Amino acid sequence: MVSIFKNSSKKVIQVLINKILLKKNSVFIINSIYEKAPSWLINYIWGHAKQPTFNFNWKIKLLNSKIVEVPVSANDIKSWEFALSYKWSDKCLTIAEAIVNDFYPSNYHYFDIGANMGLRSLYPLSINRPVILFEPNSKLKVFSENVFNQNKFSNYKFENICLSDKAGELEFYVSPSSYMSSIFKENAEMDKASGTVEAIKVQAITLDDYMKNNTTLSPKILKIDTEGNELSILKAGKNTLDIFSPVILTEILSHNTEGIEIFDFLNERKYTCYALSDDQNISRIIKIKKSNELDFEKVNNYLFVKDSELGKIIDAKSSQLNLK
């Protein structure tokens, strides 16, 4: 009886949400509710709200309370998904990026490696931190620039290159949704969105070589989401890591056999690893002590920290969990 009532209630909510989204002058109601909603309602709206059939601006409230306007286009599903993603996607990663951005002075650079549409660059740009966005798929730049320009962000640079373990031209596979684009075709083909994988030629460079050509940069936060190419980027950037000791926010996919090797590589450089888990929609930072405790089926995002003072702040916000 209870389950029937719950299902009926959800259907009523779904109808109400989509009715409100039919009119341009009432979208702000759902926008306001979504930005303040608990995780269960955010997840429900994400899964059941239909994209409006008109253009409008959606307002994202960042964790520092600053507002970012996102231009949503009726004929661009990615713009709608982008607008909802800050509150819905990778909640604990969102918390972690706020902590590290608030810790370091804003003159240090944020490297968004595998930037896609630039979602993870919003927070550092909101505090005027200089951001370098590395994204091989140049078609995504137009949308990102529209968002940045609309919010008067200016402290950024796009690099239409692929960071990897060597320089030269290589094939980059653009997945249908773009979110799983990779230098590995099999990873791009795992995208569940409808469409085909497109192969494009891109220029690659190592992180260390990029820094040799840009000696005025001071990267203190590296976000890496490259669908399986994370270890190659880190190994070819070991001099950069040793010189700047940046915080590393990285995705490690469950099928990535190099996960433990990434952990060991950074552990050798005195980095402490934290798993960023959204277990049961509750955002929390979980400290990982040993490599054999890593379980990539449960957690995809990780935070690596070398700075002891920052580590104390994160420890104060974290809970320890055995992920065996």
CATH code where residue 277 lies: 3.40.50.150
Same domain? 55 vs 29: yes
Q: Give how many domains the chain has, as a whole number.
A: 2
Q: Are residues 251 and 310 in the same domain?
A: yes
**What is the overall mean pLDDT for the chain?**
89
Task: Please tell me whether residues 137 and 224 are part of one structural domain.
Answer: yes
Report whether pLDDT(199) > 60.
yes
More confident residue, 243 or 256: 243
Q: Which of 206-210, 280-284, 293-297 has the highest mean pLDDT?
A: 206-210
Same domain, 246 and 137: yes
pLDDT > 80? residue 31: yes
- DSSP H or E run through 163: strand 162-163
**Mean pLDDT score, 209-238:** 96
| 289 and 246 both lie in a single domain | yes
- Mean pLDDT of the region 24-53: 93
* pLDDT, greater one: 12 or 103: 103
| Domain membership flag for residue 301 | yes
Exposure of 140 by Cβ count < 10 A (0-12 exposed, 13-18 middle, 19+ buried)? Answer: buried
Whether 140 and 84 map to the same domain: the answer is no
| Contacts made by residues 111-115, CB under 8 angstroms, sequence distance 24+ | 111/219, 111/221, 111/222, 111/223, 111/246, 112/223, 113/163, 113/222, 113/223, 113/224, 113/225, 113/226, 113/233, 114/223, 114/224, 114/225, 114/226, 114/227, 114/229, 115/140, 115/144
Mean pLDDT, residues 10-35 taken together: 90
Average of per-residue pLDDT across 46-69: 96
By CB neighbour count within 10 A (0-12 exposed, 13-18 middle, 19+ buried), where does 153 fall?
buried
* pLDDT of the residue at 15: 83
**What's the pLDDT score for residue 185?**
87
Residue 183 lies inside a defined structural domain of this protein: no
The answer as to whether 187 is a domain residue is no
Q: Provide, rounded to the nearest whole percent, the portion of the chain with pLDDT above 90.
A: 68
Same-domain check for residues 100 and 143: yes
208 in a domain, yes or no? Answer: no
Average pLDDT value for residue range 81-108:
94
Final residue of a domain: which of 58, 88, 118?
Answer: 88
Mark whether 95 and 78 lie in a shared domain. no
Which domain range does residue 14 map to? 2-88
Average pLDDT over residues 55-68: 97
Asked whether residue 57 falls in the same domain as residue 103, the answer is no
Is the domain of 239 the same as that of 141? yes
- 79 shares its domain with 97: no
Is residue 141 in a domain?
yes
Last residue of a domain, one of 55, 88, 121: 88
Q: What pLDDT does 316 receive? A: 84
> What pLDDT does residue 58 have?
98
Q: Is residue 307 part of a domain?
A: yes
| 183 and 161 Cβ atoms separated by less than 8 Å | no
Q: Sign of torsion, CA 86 323 265 166?
A: negative
Amino acid identity, position 203: Q
Domain presence at residue 292: yes
Q: What pLDDT shows up at residue 203? A: 96
Give percent above pLDDT 70 in the chain: 91
| Rounded Cα–Cα distance for residues 237 and 220 (Å) | 13
Residue 4 pLDDT level (bands cut at 50, 70, 90):
very low
Residue 290: predicted pLDDT: 67
Q: What's residue 296's pLDDT?
A: 74
At 39 the pLDDT is 87
Residue 278 pLDDT:
73
Global pTM value: 0.92
> Which residue among 88, 105, 140 closes a domain?
88
Residue 37: inside a domain: yes
| 57 and 148 belong to one structural domain | no
